Amino acid sequence: MTDFVLSTAEPTTMLSHMALYGLAAIVEDGGLAGVRLSWTAGMAPRPVLSAPRATPEVIGEIVRRHAARHDTPESWPSREVATGERRALMSPRISVISSREDWRSLQGRRHQVLQRLTEERALLDLRLIAALGEPSYWRFNRQGQRLQDDGASRLEMQPRNQGSEFVGNRIRPLAAAVAARTATAVSDGLLGRGVRDEVGKDAPASRTPTGFASPGPTDNALAWCALWGISQFPLALRTTGFAATTGHIGRGTAGRYYVPVWHGQWRTARLRTIVASGQLRRFAEAGLSPDEAGRTPDDGANGDAAAQWLASRGVTAVVRFPVRRFGSDSAPERRAMLGELIKTGRP
């Protein structure tokens, strides 16, 4: 096995976890066999992707090719809500859709994309789109106003100022930036050998992390993988509330995110199983009040049993990231702050 270490990715930053998940999903989808995920040992663990052919050249080319495939006029990120519009069709949060006809058009065009991806057996693309969610046509408040954002993942943190949205303002530019690189430049960015923030123009206040880290220059290949990491967090749409996002606890648009850290090597399927488990959620709720955890007082969490279940599967700790809101109330910017490690008791 060859190890590909994201050497600058610290476990207390959510971007690090999401980049590992997205990178693994991308290279596995790109044909790399035997992909495993792990963390280095010691006081400063780093995420590791391992595979028999996990060389910088191979991984760099797979990620570059993946970005290039999504940087074409025919790709789903390039599709628009309507002809001549800038808004991306597959964004889960877009500016208000006012008429029944526009909703029917939106749904029809989205279904065309999903049908084509299904026929192409594009599983990773479908996973990401499903995990992001969709504009909610079925949710209304007591005044009869549509709660259009209630079908979106909490992990989608692109600010909505001036009509910006996730696919058009984040996925499209990152795809173009990563596709324009050489394979070596892509792998160098992932390995931490150099930071190139083409989309953010290397600005000190760059928003390239899209909420997974504090503003600042972020390598575009690393950010590209992190956004695709959302594909590993399933979403459950609901008729009576905001969509339930895997890896998120709490009410409202704040709350907390949580992810596991483990001993040994996992397949991506194992990661998805643990991330979506009730045991991980219950352990992540440890020490939180019912209101903080977004549950009723009668729905108590058995943290000890959850810890034992996780430890038996190699989970050494859960990292919990508080979510904070910045900026205006009309277009707030949400951000995962530095994480807190909660150990399960497994050495």
Q: Taking 80 as the threshold, does the pLDDT of residue 347 lie above it?
A: no
Whether residue 198 lies inside any domain: the answer is yes
pLDDT confidence tier of residue 219, bands split at 50, 70 and 90: very high
Q: Which helix (H) or strand (E) holds 270?
A: helix 268-275
**C-alpha neighbours within 13 Å on the C-beta side of residue 90:** 24
What mean pLDDT is predicted for residues 314-341? Answer: 92
Domain of residue 42: give its range: 1-260
231 is a domain residue: yes
**Is the Cβ–Cβ distance between 259 and 17 less than 8 Å?**
yes
Residue 58 lies in a domain: yes
Q: Angle between the 14-29 and 220-228 helix axes, to the nearest 10 degrees?
A: 80
Residue 152 lies in a domain: yes
Domain assignment present for 206: yes
Q: Is 280 among the domain residues?
A: no
Average pLDDT over residues 34-50: 94
Q: Tell me if 40 is assigned to some domain.
A: yes
pLDDT digits (tens, 9 = 90+) for 91-121: 999 999 989 999 999 999 999 999 999 999 9
pLDDT category of residue 296 using cuts at 50, 70 and 90: low
Compute the distance between CA of residue 309 and CA of residue 327 in angstroms, rounded to an integer. 40
Number of domains into which the chain is organized: 1
CA–CA distances in Å: residue 176 to residues 141, 218, 220: 39, 16, 10
- In percent, the amount of the chain with pLDDT more than 90 equals 85
Give the pLDDT mean for 262-278. Answer: 97
What's the mean pLDDT in 281-304? 77
Buried b (16+ CB within 10 A) or exposed e, 174-189: bbbbbbebebebbbbb
Query: If pLDDT is split at 50, 70 and 90, which confidence band does 297 have?
Result: low
Residue 29 pLDDT class (50, 70, 90 cuts): very high
The verdict on residue 169 lying in a domain is yes
